[in-house]
Amino acid sequence: MTAIITGAASGLGAAIAKKLSQKDINLALFDKETEKLSALCRQLTGNCKIFKTDVTNESEVKKNVAGAIEQFGSVQILINSAGITGATNIKSHEVNAGDLQSVFNVNFTGSFLMSKHVLPFMLINHYGRILHIASIAGKEGNAGMLAYSASKAAVIAMAKVQGKEYAGTGITVNALAPAVIQTPLVDAMPETQVKYMTDKIPMRRCGTLEELANMVAFIVSPESSFTTGFTFDLSGGRAVY
């Protein structure tokens, strides 16, 4: 079994790669930071190939998806974890349109392009697991994070659409909406923004990368076969709907 993981150089993507490697899944790791990808591959026990990829560039995405399939013969799993927050802790009237577009390009368009070019291969094999990493911000909206929240809402909507479109094909498409997970991305955010988000969590803490990776491993497993178009929560009690 082979998985493509975007944003695999660090954070959520790297944690997911480590978890799937433990399950003897071949990994095609997509990111722009090839040095970090190489370092990660050296830590993994299974078969791993790296692909320098800008997920917002359709020609690169198409070429590298084909390259991954040439390397491994097929792909059964796609996990879209590449993402950026953009500027945070700012009101909507302060949002820069260029920054907003950059966030949408990575978070939404990147996930769309990856699924667009992986789906035809999954359809041939009548099997696939696609997981878009969204955010609780996409469900509730985080004040001070307009670009990020709106882009993740778009990702959730895409999972709903794709889940319905491919429901009869053996392919499931779902999203995962974590609350704050302790990652370098979160560490780089303003302390006031992180406090705003963690104060909303009944457990009063960030989630861990291990907790996220464990849930991802189930969602993309063959055992998770009757859930599609759904957004799983990983929110410490913040989301109960």
Which residues are identified as catalytic?
148
Q: What is the dihedral of CA 77, 171, 60, 215, to 10 degrees?
A: -40
**Residue in 231, 185, 186, 219 with CA at minimum distance from that of residue 205:** 186
Q: Which two tokens stand for residue 44?
A: 């993994």
Residue 205 phi, psi dihedral angles, 5° rounding: -155, 165
- Tell me how far apart the terminal alpha carbons of the chain are, to the nearest angstrom: 33
**Is the sign of the CA dihedral 141, 218, 160, 132 positive or negative?**
positive
Helices then strands, each counted (H, E), the chain: 10, 7
